[in-house]
Amino acid sequence: MSKRLQVVLDDAEAREIRRLARSRRMTVSEWVRQALRVARRQEPETEQTKKLQIVHASLRHSYPAPDINQMLSEIEQGYLK
């Protein structure tokens, strides 16, 4: 589903965007859509998204780990030292 977006520009900005779109042989709408896509890709990822990507990447690997009881025992021993 498409959504309409209205943006208010001053005359100079509108002229410049029309000129840029014309120089690339595209409509102003298409030029704006492409500019917004580029801007969106350049935005830094949210912290939550970045964390989820790290978790998903780590799940693609197998890491050697001892039995849970052995790990808990070793952790407990570390506390006692």
Region 55-70: mean pLDDT is: 87
Name the nearest CA neighbour of 4 among 32, 41, 39: 32
* Local structure of residue 45 (DSSP, 8 states): P
Q: Residue 3: inside a domain, yes or no?
A: yes
- The more confidently predicted of residues 46 and 70 is 70
Q: Residue 14: inside a domain, yes or no?
A: yes
pLDDT at 81 over 80: no
Q: Residue 74: inside a domain, yes or no?
A: no
What range does the domain containing 47 cover?
1-57
Domain count, the chain: 1
- The more confidently predicted of residues 47 and 72 is 72
Q: What is the per-residue pLDDT across 10-52, written as a single tens digit (0 to 9) for each?
A: 999 999 999 999 999 999 999 999 999 999 888 877 788 888 8
pLDDT score of 69: 93
